[in-house]
Amino acid sequence: MKTIYLDHAATTATDPEVLEAMLPYFHEHYGNPSSIYSISRISKNTIENAREIVANALGANSKEIVFTSSGSESDNFAIKGVALAKQQQGNHIITSSIEHHAVLYTCKFLEKNGFNVTYLPVDNNGIIKLDELEKAITPQTILITIMHANNEIGTIQPISQIGEIARKHGITFHTDAVQTFGHIPVNVDDLNIDMLRISGHKFYGPKGVGALYIRKGIKITPLIHGGDQERRRRASTENVPGIIGLGKAVEIAGKVMENEATRQTKLRNEFIRTILDNIDDARLNGHSSLRLPNNVNISFEGIEGESILLNLDMEGIAASTGSACSSSNLEPSHVLLSIGLSHEFAHGSVRFSMGKHTTKDDLDYVVEVLPGIVKKLRAMSPLYKK
């Protein structure tokens, strides 16, 4: 059976071209970039080239890019790093209630260590209110960290306005752009961003590599101490193949992004419409247009997400859910609760996230099998009485 992979928000397959670019850096050009002999110079130069590519894509300077081991590390580095560097100035951080756990739990950690954190609520579409952000700012506020687009419901925040507010008050603004970078244009100057998190495997790069953009002049304390790598901002021997792969993935994304975003947006809208037309008591979660091109998140009343996923899996379809039953702490998704969904509706949520290889045929197939699955589970459900 063919697999229809609709979980690209979780991870993507490494592009064969990316893999090919990486391979020589495992065994041929294996030199440690910090050494001075020629095989090391090769790795050093290619890393710097990758840095340039990433910087260009963001409209940044290559000195402002730090390579990390992952998106989660980048978030930790940005938030803890700024908190530590600025703790003499203040101890207040503003974030939103729908951030990725890498941001939320980092903030919770800081709360236990003397910082105050405001978690801004969001409206029913998942968007923060700018006036509430403005009101939350105090003379103690040192950092605002709000994601560009949400990984579960795909809602895109008014990032440039948030950045403008932060700048007006002289506060550092960090954004988690894991779901947007490589998929829609992200320019740090247009969007008034001071720091930004990138993760390679979300756009056909390898896993285990990420980057953090740090605007020139932003003070940050390193998390990993040791050697002088990354302009002393992150010690450890560089993941050369990973960084090469990340650079290559950014390069490819730059070429295909615009067309892909248009193509996927069209597919997305059609897919949403057909599902809602064909299945009763279903609702779209997240904003209808301020939304990632590849994200579809729908709740089906009266049934539970994990059992929907298992049924989809039997048909060869891979998707994900915000149901409590499939989370490790048995809590429904904090994002779905934050946009006002009842526990029951959060239970019945399914996220389909498309990728560059997703075709209309793939989605047609999902639309063909999904109503039957929903019907079967509803017939079994004590909560669905219609």
List of residues contacting other proteins (CB under 8 A) = 302-304, 306-307, 309-310, 313-314, 323-326, 328, 330-332, 343-344, 347, 379-384
Q: Which whole-number Å values give the CA distances from 291 to 161, 163, 276, 278, 314, in the listed order?
A: 17, 19, 17, 22, 29
Q: Is 86 exposed, middle or buried (0-12, 13-18, 19+ CB in 10 A)?
A: buried
Beta carbon of residue 205, minimum distance to other proteins (angstroms, whole number): 24
Q: Kindly state the helix (H) or strand (E) to which residue 382 belongs, with its residue range.
A: none
Q: Is 2 exposed, middle or buried (0-12, 13-18, 19+ CB in 10 A)?
A: exposed
- 107 has catalytic annotation: no
The Cβ of residue 344 has, within 10 Å, a number of other Cβ atoms equal to 14
In this complex, which beta carbon is closest to other proteins, that of residue 211 or of residue 303?
A: 303
According to DSSP, residue 49 is labeled H
- Distance CA(44)–CA(49), nearest Å, equals 9
Of 325, 342, 360, 383, which residue is the catalytic one?
A: 325
The token duo for 323 is: 């149901």
Beta bridge partners of 5: 318
Looking at residue 350, its amino acid is V
- Distance CA(54)–CA(58), nearest Å, equals 7
- Distance CA(160)–CA(364), nearest Å, equals 36
**Whether the Cβ atoms of residue 176 and residue 99 lie closer than 8 Å to each other:** yes
CA 226 to centroid of chain Cα atoms: 29
Beta carbon of residue 192, minimum distance to other proteins (angstroms, whole number): 40
- Distance CA(265)–CA(259), nearest Å, equals 10
Supply the residues annotated as catalytic.
325
